[in-house]
Amino acid sequence: MLSEQLLAKLNEQMNYEFFSSQVYLAMAGYCSSESFDGFANFFIVQAEEEKFHAMKIFHFINTLGKRAHVTGMGDPQNNYESMLDAFEHAYQHEQSVTKRIYELSDLAWDEREHATMNFLKWFIDEQVEEEATFDSIIQKLRRIDKDSNAFYMLDAELAKRTFTPEPAGGEA
């Protein structure tokens, strides 16, 4: 059975995922203002993924017969020094998401709330992928440095990124 403490933490994480979507939309705005549409696309897709993550938690809470409470979390950062700076901030943000998911998972474990532990496994796996993606792009940006041709090639590569949400009805 879902405790009030675990419910509160799930609601908090759901809202943090919605906030994460805004963080990435703000980064997309920065990229777009610099005329890097591929980088902007990357962050727009990332924003959609984060909204999808929030809605997974929303539906999970409701499936357990509890109430999802949506709240605001403040304004995201909108300005960056460079594309590398934006991606480094994004990577740090994902690391904070991972820490929060781990803490949530630890609480579910402590309470022996097996349904929530099973549900959160998907998020743990997702965070491994998220951090690896950002780390990879950061490494590419560092290698590119001042090579404008390589920078534009990476921009073109990121323009191809898409997001296809999973079919409704499944937890995975």
What are the residue boundaries of the structural domains of the chain, listed by start?
A: 4-158
Q: Using 50, 70 and 90 to split pLDDT, how confident is the model at 172?
A: very low
**3-state DSSP percent of the chain in helix, strand and coil, to 5:** 75, 0, 25
- In this predicted structure, what is the pLDDT of residue 168? 54
Residues 2, 108: contact at Cβ < 8 Å? Answer: no
- Residue 61 · residue 11 · CB < 8 Å: yes
The pLDDT confidence band at residue 160, using thresholds 50, 70 and 90, is confident
pLDDT tens-digit map of 78-109: 999 999 999 999 999 999 999 999 999 999 99
> What would the mean pLDDT of 63-72 be, rounded to a whole number?
96
Candidates 109, 133, 108; CA nearest to 57 is: 108
What mean pLDDT is reported for the chain? 92
Residue that wins the pLDDT comparison between 151 and 172: 151
- What is the number of other CB atoms lying within 10 angstroms of the CB of residue 165? 11
pLDDT on residue 151: 74
Q: Tell me: pLDDT of 131 over 90.
A: yes
**Phi-psi category of residue 35: left, alpha or beta, with phi > 0 → left and psi -120 to 50 → alpha:** left
Which CATH homologous superfamily contains domain 4-158?
Answer: Ferritin, core subunit, four-helix bundle (1.20.1260.10)
Cβ pair 131, 95 in contact under 8 A: yes
